Amino acid sequence: MTKMDSVAGDGDCGLTLKDGANGVLKALKEGKVSGEDFVGSVIAISKVAEEAMGGTTGAFYSIFFSALAQGLADTSTLATADIWSNALNAALDRLDTYTRALLPSRTLVDLLAAFTEALPSGLEVAVNAAKETAEKISDLEAKARRNACVEGGRFRAERIPDSSTWGIKVVIDALIRRFKVIKCCT
């Protein structure tokens, strides 16, 4: 991811995401992230993104997770696919107030929107939509953030994905693998 980011930016995306992952692992060890308080865990992840990640990516992750937690906290029932979908849409709407990344924009917003839009059809469908978007992002014209500043069609010519989008794809892949293991063993 750092190599991808060095084309459009300062090459720190991989390190930023690593800092975020290490921050979440630390929060897990400290009990700030657990399966017992899901909304509190999402808030803790938002704080990790804000404090450990830094940069635009960290800010976007923090805003997104904070809004997601708020959307999930507004319900007093079990978090169904519809509730998740509504909370994710609210989080995307909040993120939209801080970015000019209109779809398609060749940013993490593209992947989050694809996942959110497909979620009512099931988790596996949403994961596949996110993966397809991540794979196709190399063919999109950059319209926002630093990606738009890179010369002409270099991203498309070299088929370089957006690094922060690819980072979300990696997270979704890991979560779905973990979900399948839990589902299989329960």
pTM for this model (two decimals)? 0.79
- DSSP secondary-structure letter at 77? S
Name the residue range of residue 136's domain.
2-185
Judge whether residue 22 has pLDDT over 90: yes
pLDDT digits (tens, 9 = 90+) for 34-56: 878 888 999 999 999 999 998 88
The domain total for the chain is 1
Least confident of 57-66, 90-99, 141-150, 166-175: 141-150
Whether the CB-CB separation of 134 and 166 falls below 8 Å is answered with yes
Q: For residue 137, is pLDDT > 80? A: no
CA-based torsion, 20, 159, 98, 83: positive or negative: negative
Query: What is the CATH classification number for the domain harbouring 129?
Result: 1.25.40.340
Closest CA to 71 of 60, 82, 86: 86
